[in-house]
Chain A
Amino acid sequence: MTHHPMGSAEPLLAVRDLRVTFQRHGEKAFRAVDGVSFDVRPGQTVGLVGESGCGKSVTSLAIMGLLPKRGNRVEGTAIFDGEDLLSLSPSAMRDRRGADIAMIFQDPLSSLNPVVTIGRQVTEVMERHQGLSRKDATPKAAELLERVGIPDPRARLINYPHQLSGGMRQRALIAMALACNPRLLIADEPTTALDVTIQAQILALLKELVVDTGTALVMITHDLGVVAGLCDEVNVLYGGKIVERGGRHGLFQRPRHPYTVGLLNSIPRLDAPRGEKLSPVPGSVADNLPWDSACAFAPRCPNVLDVCTQEQPGWDGDQVVGYRCFNPMGGPR
């Protein structure tokens, strides 16, 4: 781990062998996250990429302790600052959330309380974690809104969420998440619900804020384009397992896992000849094989070998780079 330049600092968050199993009575158990391990170092931006249903949100909710109380089992560890978040008491975890770790979600409109003003929603976090009175928190809230690029922040404090545009709402949510200067921010597809032009602005804002404040960022997305502009390290998730990890440059220049290649090919390119078809990964997650006796991706894989449907591929690499494949692109290392 220490031989890599990125690996020099102690991880801020170390997730090890995270498993989340959903089990409702009368139904078959379903493992949404299947042994995920990754590190996030202070100030680093780590991407978690994969198609819909691969377990990105469940991974982040499990780390945050936000999965429903019943109907699921969470195993593994998530060491944050020397403490295992997964074994903290609910009230200790509540004290961490919003103060040390915060999260922003996909849909900015439905993530805001429709009957409470923006100002009140921002000050609520500061009152909760910093013991400020509402009176002291209000000017800080205005500053915060200004910092996330909301024009005329004083007037916005008394607005209700529906009075703001989509981009402004997402900025307000970012302000709430950053209100107590958390050391880790998890962003779960923060731009998916926004217009393309607004997406770019929000991504630029996030990048600027994490650089300014030194906040570590876990960026969850299905869009490798977002990853390319933002992340230091990328984890590609498939069927609840990490199938490839690498630094941004390494992963984009020399992807090893056929699934990563498929994802890369599905990004529209400006330099591609006109009329050339995008090639998304064929098939769907419904075709997945169970991981315990095969590679889940085998039915959709262009490089598939016999062994892929008979054995589980192991992790070939370390905490910084690696892949999980019997027949990687460019041959084995």
Chain B
Amino acid sequence: MTDRASGTTDESPRRPSYGQRRRARIDALATAGTVDDQPGVSLIRSAWLRLRRNPVFLIGLAITVVFVVLALVSPWLAPWDPTARPLLDQVRPQSNPVPGPEPGHPLGADDRGRDLLSRLLVGSRQTLIVGVFATLFGLLGGLVLGTLAGAMGGWVDSLVMRVVDVMLSIPSLLLAFTIASLARSPSQWTLIVAIAVVQVPIFARLLRGSMLAQRSSDHVLAARSLGVKPRAIVFRHMLPNALGPVIVQATLSLAVAIIDAAALSFLGLGNPDQRQPEWGQMLGLAQRYISEAPHLAFYPAGCIIVVALGFTLMGESLREALDPKSRR
């Protein structure tokens, strides 16, 4: 309705740039879940009815549930203490640096004689923590900035969106890498902060887009016609209705956060403390033995891929179910 929507995307006839493609993808999501034909709870219910019959969603859901349950109970489930070194006596730096499977150790051990299965199981916990907290903080930051931009409009909006667009034009892993490498002593919090910062502009742009759609909606006009104060308009009438796309994005972000966390700790920017195993860290340590013992890299990499796939399948089918354009 107003000129506010423009100004942040200047389309050129050429192939869109990296930043433009990311912005377009985010903006497409902003309208998801805000259809007029069946708004509100009925929309969510009809989305659920569709999802329940969607095998892609069910597979994603199953993977996610298994992963989360494992991560929660792993300290009790793991047959060995992940820091204990039961197979240390079998490690021969020259002939047998990585002990193979044997009874009681179905996946064998790592180069220090620690039980690999136990480390994988317990490692799921760190992965979940990093993924969830990075997404949560990214979401919170994005909520604040997106609400501010979408509710205030004007120069606040322009300023916030300029910053967001600049951040979006930097490849996300590169940005996360840069932020993580600023930390003096890397820890899992370095990972969380670096990945959260990268998620903020995505959530901010998304929320701002769906807030703008709400701002010009009929029910907001009706609320204004009754003299409802701006604060209540924003927090009761706009924000709750604008959250749908953000929740979908959060599911997708979990997958990205897990992969990014693995990538950063593979590069040595994560938690160096091996008493707290983490899949990316294990993958990084496996590099040295990649020719003698490829399974050492294969297991954590496989876990990362499967879990990220689970969240992605779930998020994509959620998005599809809530998006009026992709309904069949």
Residues of chain A at the chain B interface (Cβ within 8 Å)? 24-25, 64, 66, 68-71, 94-99, 102-103, 105, 107, 109-116, 124-125, 128-129, 160-162, 173, 176-177, 179
Contact bitstring B221-258, A, C-beta under 8 A = 1, else 0: 11111111100100011001100000000000000000
Please measure, in the bound complex, the distance between the C-alpha atom of A95 and the C-alpha atom of B1, giving whole angstroms.
Answer: 25
Please measure, in the bound complex, the distance between the C-alpha atom of A98 and the C-alpha atom of B3, giving whole angstroms.
Answer: 28
Known pairs A94-B229, A96-B227, A112-B219 / 6 extra A-B pairs, C-beta < 8 Å:
A68-B1, A70-B4, A105-B221, A105-B222, A124-B228, A128-B229
Check if B54 is an interface residue, CB within 8 A of chain A. no
> Which residues of B sit under 8 angstroms from A96, Cβ to Cβ?
227
With A68-B1, A71-B3, A162-B42 already in contact, the answer to whether A115 and B241 are too (CB < 8 A) is yes
User: Among the listed A24, A114, A116, A176, which residue makes an inter-chain contact with B226, where contact means beta carbons less than 8 Å apart?
Assistant: A176
Q: Chain B residue with minimal CB distance to A129?
A: B227
Are B218 and A111 interface neighbours, CB within 8 A?
yes
Q: Chain B residue with minimal CB distance to A120?
A: B236
> Which residues of B sit under 8 angstroms from A113, Cβ to Cβ?
219, 223, 236-237, 241
Please measure, in the bound complex, the distance between the C-alpha atom of A212 and the C-alpha atom of B217, giving whole angstroms.
Answer: 32
Within 8 A of A (CB), among B165-189: none
**Interface majority SS on A: helix, strand, loop or mixed?**
loop
What class of interface size applies to chain B in its complex with A? 20 to 34
With A113-B237, A161-B40, A162-B39 already in contact, the answer to whether A98 and B219 are too (CB < 8 A) is no
Contact bitstring B69-103, A, C-beta under 8 A = 1, else 0: 00000000000000000000000000000000000
Determine how close the nearest CB of chain B comes to the CB of A249; give it in whole angstroms.
Answer: 32
> Which residues of A sit under 8 angstroms from B39, Cβ to Cβ?
109-110, 114, 162
Tell me how many residue pairs across A and B have CB atoms closer than 8 Å: 97
Are B225 and A107 interface neighbours, CB within 8 A?
no
Please measure, in the bound complex, the distance between the C-alpha atom of A160 and the C-alpha atom of B38, giving whole angstroms.
Answer: 12
Are A115 and B225 interface neighbours, CB within 8 A?
no
Check if B36 is an interface residue, CB within 8 A of chain A. yes
Please measure, in the bound complex, the distance between the C-alpha atom of A69 and the C-alpha atom of B216, giving whole angstroms.
Answer: 12
User: Among the listed A94, A112, A114, which residue makes an inter-chain contact with B227, where contact means beta carbons less than 8 Å apart?
Assistant: A94
Are B228 and A71 interface neighbours, CB within 8 A?
no
Determine how close the nearest CB of chain A comes to the CB of B204; give it in whole angstroms.
Answer: 22
Are B224 and A95 interface neighbours, CB within 8 A?
no
Are B42 and A111 interface neighbours, CB within 8 A?
no
Determine how close the nearest CB of chain A comes to the CB of B211; give it in whole angstroms.
Answer: 14
Are A128 and B240 interface neighbours, CB within 8 A?
no
Closest 5 CB pairs of A and B: A114-B40, A98-B227, A98-B226, A97-B227, A110-B218
> Which residues of B sit under 8 angstroms from A70, Cβ to Cβ?
2-4
Are B219 and A97 interface neighbours, CB within 8 A?
no
Determine how close the nearest CB of chain A comes to the CB of B3; give it in whole angstroms.
Answer: 6
Please measure, in the bound complex, the distance between the C-alpha atom of A66 and the C-alpha atom of B241, giving whole angstroms.
Answer: 21
Please measure, in the bound complex, the distance between the C-alpha atom of A242 and the C-alpha atom of B43, giving whole angstroms.
Answer: 42
Please measure, in the bound complex, the distance between the C-alpha atom of A99 and the C-alpha atom of B226, giving whole angstroms.
Answer: 7
Check if B163 is an interface residue, CB within 8 A of chain A. no
User: Among the listed A98, A99, A110, which residue makes an inter-chain contact with B36, where contact means beta carbons less than 8 Å apart?
Assistant: A110
> Which residues of B sit under 8 angstroms from A179, Cβ to Cβ?
226
